[in-house]
């Protein structure tokens, strides 16, 4: 009895559910990853995520080799490559972890059907979140739609079982040293160019380890620091959670233990990990909300369209709106593939409620740019900001981008980092340069505000009024 482990968003050996199940269930276990053309062919030729994945595969291959196995990497359509490999290797089962994105589910159903025709089966497991799918339901038996009760139920249900780690190493003897493994291809091998991945991101599970070490030294400060983009407050682990180069169970266990020990920072951080689970279970229960408003009445909102709206959208993408905090955020995204959480909220709110543009346009830009892009979290974040989501920001609450800037980047440190043309302005002026330092701004290549916030706010309240009548 032979098995194949198909790695997807779980690029690690430690505490990996499908790998553990295969090792304990089969005599010989092969490991594979498919650089899926269905996904890759749609990307621009330079994409940081492709670079991140290849780096992570390298570390994964090394780890498997240390245990006597090796990683087979194929470049093609996953739906073709996995059944083909299963046939070549003569395996009876392919093991993988759940990926609940609608497109991934469709792909997996196709693969399962093709395997069945080969007399093999696709066996899938929970690995990506602590609680998934229907594991946490309300007393009435429905899915949770409000975060706080969900979080309370999550914490109540949590015990050592759900946080336990899979002792993969103990069973590593079943790993097959595959002759089909020819090393991880380079970017050039698969037709990509370097995109400039920041070294801070770290390579695969080794990089995650370094970031985690660093974060654990300051996790007690997290509650105080997490909202200030100029400060090293958050963990920067999102890309590692996205690609599974770190185990969510391990992170939740660390945070939970510290929380029980009375550490406030760890408690706040655990709450963020619970938001992640929350958005994943929402995606499972409401796949239609991945393209439409979670609250259908919000699809009656009429967004700005036409050439002027397109120009505003371009200014937003390029970080040239004339609102320094928004611009600094959008430039951080383009230059690094990361954006601080506070800034994601500010930039998203600005798109919907200051520019009057459909949240889906912003969502798509983030999806293309974010290294940690994750459909469930990104859609959840956007629908929170546009007020169309479940448990979202109320529609009449509208961030003032200048006030947000004064509050969360008071000295303008973050702004100066990404908008160096404003570096010479005093702290007071940096949040609204044209208004507060017009003379100093003469000759500075920085745009005037593309909208007037007070007017935009009034228009947005009118725009969203349709919701009141339909709700
Ligand atoms: P930390 O503050 O260290 O948080 C730890 C982890 O908790 C994160 O790595 C992430 O996995 C999870 N997390 C934190 N906040 C959230 C949240 N609000 N929702 C879901 N999970 C959360 N996160 C993504 O991982 N991918 C996305 O595509 C994404 N898009 C977003 C879009 C918008 C408009 C908004 C408002 C938020 C989005 N987030 C997304 C959530 C959040 O901004 C990022 O997870 C966070 O900034 C990542 O940085 P970190 O790892 O340093 O976070």
Longest dimension (CA), the chain: 77
Q: Please say if 384 is a catalytic residue.
A: no
Task: Please check whether residues 91 and 138 belong to one and the same domain.
Answer: no
Q: Is 193 a member of any domain? A: no
Atom of ligand 1 nearest to the CA of 367: 28
Residue 136 and residue 141: Cα distance in Å, rounded?
A: 9
Q: Is 222 annotated as a binding residue?
A: yes
Task: Please check whether residues 334 and 460 belong to one and the same domain.
Answer: yes
Atom of ligand 1 nearest to the CA of 345: 36
Task: Please check whether residues 101 and 145 belong to one and the same domain.
Answer: no
Residue 341 C-alpha to ligand 1 middle, in angstroms? 6
Q: Is 312 a member of any domain? A: yes
Whichever domain contains 139, its CATH number is 1.25.40.80
Residue 152 and residue 249: Cα distance in Å, rounded?
A: 18
Q: Which of 263, 285, 307 is the last residue of a domain?
A: 285
Q: Which of 250, 266, 285 is the last residue of a domain?
A: 285
Contacts of 322 (CB under 8 A, 6+ apart): 434, 446, 447, 448, 449, 450
Alpha helices by DSSP H, 137-247: 147-157, 160-163, 204-216, 222-225, 238-243
Q: Is 171 a member of any domain? A: no
CB atoms within 10 A of CB 158: 17
Q: Is 187 a member of any domain? A: no
Q: Please say if 303 is a catalytic residue.
A: yes
Task: Please check whether residues 334 and 416 belong to one and the same domain.
Answer: yes
Q: pLDDT tens for residues 186-240?
A: 999 999 999 999 999 999 999 999 999 999 999 999 999 999 999 999 999 999 9
Interior angle at CA 10, CA 25 and CA 290, nearest 5: 120
- Domain enclosing residue 56, as ranges: 2-127
Residue 377 C-alpha to ligand 1 middle, in angstroms? 7
Say if CB 403 and CB 346 are below 8 A apart.
no
Q: Is 415 a member of any domain? A: yes
pLDDT per residue rounded down to tens, the chain (471 residues): 999 999 999 999 999 999 999 999 999 999 999 999 999 999 999 999 999 999 999 999 999 999 999 999 999 999 999 999 999 999 999 999 999 999 999 999 999 999 999 999 999 999 999 999 999 999 999 999 999 999 999 999 999 999 999 999 999 999 999 889 999 999 999 999 999 999 999 999 999 999 999 999 999 999 999 999 999 999 999 999 999 999 999 999 999 999 999 999 999 999 999 999 999 999 999 999 999 999 999 999 999 999 999 999 999 999 999 999 999 999 999 999 999 999 999 999 999 999 999 999 999 999 999 999 999 999 999 999 999 999 999 999 999 999 999 999 999 999 999 999 999 999 999 999 999 999 999 999 999 999 999 999 999 999 999 998 665
Q: Does 255 contact ligand 1 (Cβ within 6 A)?
A: no
Q: Is 147 a member of any domain? A: yes
Residue 458 and residue 61: Cα distance in Å, rounded?
A: 56
Residue 82 and residue 61: Cα distance in Å, rounded?
A: 18
Backbone angles phi, psi at 349, to 5 degrees: -60, -40
Token pair for 336: 């690094």
| 299-309 b/e (C-beta count within 10 Å ≥ 16 → b) | eebebeeeeeb
Task: Please check whether residues 136 and 278 belong to one and the same domain.
Answer: yes
Q: Which of 341, 406, 421, 434 is catalytic?
A: 341
Task: Please check whether residues 462 and 379 belong to one and the same domain.
Answer: yes
Q: Is 47 annotated as a binding residue?
A: no
Q: Does 147 contact ligand 1 (Cβ within 6 A)?
A: no
Residue 275 C-alpha to ligand 1 middle, in angstroms? 9
Backbone angles phi, psi at 126, to 5 degrees: -80, 135
Residue 87 C-alpha to ligand 1 middle, in angstroms? 39
Q: Which of 135, 169, 209, 275 is catalytic?
A: 275
Task: Please check whether residues 148 and 106 belong to one and the same domain.
Answer: no
Whichever domain contains 46, its CATH number is 3.40.50.620
Q: Is 216 a member of any domain? A: yes
Q: Please say if 316 is a catalytic residue.
A: no
Q: What is the DSSP string of 412-450?
A: -HHHHHH-GGGTTS-HHHHTSHHHH-HHHHTT---PPPS
Q: Is 380 a member of any domain? A: yes
| 362-399 b/e (C-beta count within 10 Å ≥ 16 → b) | bbebbeebbbbbbbbbbbbbbbbbbbbbbbbbebeebb
Helix (H, G, I), strand (E, B) or coil at 72: strand
Q: Which of 6, 154, 316, 359 is catalytic?
A: 359
Residue 274 and residue 270: Cα distance in Å, rounded?
A: 6
Whichever domain contains 389, its CATH number is 1.10.579.10
In the chain, the number of structural domains is 3
Residue 272 and residue 269: Cα distance in Å, rounded?
A: 5
* Helix (H) or strand (E) segment spanning residue 122: strand 121-125
Q: Which of 253, 285, 317 is the last residue of a domain?
A: 285
Q: Does 169 contact ligand 1 (Cβ within 6 A)?
A: no
Cα radius of gyration rounded to whole Å, the chain = 24
Task: Please check whether residues 97 and 215 belong to one and the same domain.
Answer: no
Task: Please check whether residues 242 and 260 belong to one and the same domain.
Answer: yes
- Beta strands at 93-97 and 28-36: parallel, antiparallel or unpaired: unpaired
CB atoms within 10 A of CB 188: 9
Task: Please check whether residues 323 and 440 belong to one and the same domain.
Answer: yes
Say if CB 165 and CB 13 are below 8 A apart.
no
Task: Please check whether residues 86 and 146 belong to one and the same domain.
Answer: no
Q: Does 372 contact ligand 1 (Cβ within 6 A)?
A: yes
Q: Please say if 395 is a catalytic residue.
A: no
Identify the bridge partners of residue 6 per DSSP, sorted by sequence position: 32
Q: pLDDT tens for residues 268-316?
A: 999 999 999 999 999 999 999 999 999 999 999 999 999 999 999 999 9
Task: Please check whether residues 6 and 53 belong to one and the same domain.
Answer: yes
């Amino acid at each position: 009895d032979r098995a194949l482990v198909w790695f997807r968003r779980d690029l690690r050996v430690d505490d990996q559910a499908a790998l553990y199940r295969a090792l304990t269930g089969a005599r010989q276990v092969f490991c594979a990853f498919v650089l899926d053309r269905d996904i890759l062919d749609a990307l621009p030729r330079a994409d940081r995520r492709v670079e991140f994945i290849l780096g992570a595969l390298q570390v994964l291959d090394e780890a498997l080799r240390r245990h006597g196995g090796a990683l087979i990497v194929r470049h093609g359509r996953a739906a073709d490559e996995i059944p083909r490999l299963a046939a070549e290797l003569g395996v009876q089962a392919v093991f993988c972890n759940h990926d609940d994105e609608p497109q991934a589910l469709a792909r997996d159903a196709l693969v399962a059907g093709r395997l069945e025709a080969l007399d093999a089966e696709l066996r899938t497991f929970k690995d990506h979140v602590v609680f998934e799918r229907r594991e946490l339901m309300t007393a009435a038996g429905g899915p949770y739609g409000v975060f706080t009760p969900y979080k309370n139920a999550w914490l109540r249900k949590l015990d050592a079982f759900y946080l336990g780690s899979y002792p993969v190493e103990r069973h590593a003897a079943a790993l097959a040293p595959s002759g089909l493994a020819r090393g991880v291809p380079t970017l050039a091998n698969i037709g990509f160019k370097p995109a400039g991945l920041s070294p801070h991101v770290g390579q695969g599970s080794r990089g995650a380890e370094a970031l985690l070490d660093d974060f654990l030294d300051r996790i007690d400060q997290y509650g105080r620091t997490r909202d200030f983009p100029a400060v090293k407050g958050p963990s920067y682990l999102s890309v590692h959670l996205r690609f599974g180069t770190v185990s969510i169970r391990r992170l939740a266990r660390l945070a939970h233990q510290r929380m029980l020990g009375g550490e406030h920072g760890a408690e706040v951080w655990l709450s963020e990990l619970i938001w992640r689970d929350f958005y994943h279970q929402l995606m499972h229960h409401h796949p239609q909300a991945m393209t439409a408003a979670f609250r259908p009445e919000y699809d009656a909102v009429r967004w700005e369209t036409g050439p002027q709206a397109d120009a505003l959208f371009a200014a937003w993408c390029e970080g040239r709106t004339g609102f320094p905090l928004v611009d600094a955020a959008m430039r951080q995204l383009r230059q690094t593939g990361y954006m601080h959480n506070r800034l994601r909220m500010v930039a998203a709110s600005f798109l919907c409620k200051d520019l009057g543009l459909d949240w889906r346009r912003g969502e798509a830009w983030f999806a293309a740019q974010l290294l940690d892009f994750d459909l469930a979290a990104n859609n959840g974040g956007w629908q929170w900001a546009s007020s169309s989501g479940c448990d979202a920001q109320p529609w009449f609450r509208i961030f003032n981008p200048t006030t947000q800037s004064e509050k969360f980047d008071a000295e303008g440190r973050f702004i100066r980092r990404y908008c160096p043309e404003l570096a010479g302005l005093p702290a007071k002026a940096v949040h609204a340069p044209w208004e507060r330092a017009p003379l100093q701004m003469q000759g500075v290549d920085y745009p005037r505000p593309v909208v007037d916030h007070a007017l935009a706010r009034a228009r947005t309240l009118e725009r969203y009024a349709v919701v009141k009548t339909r709700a």
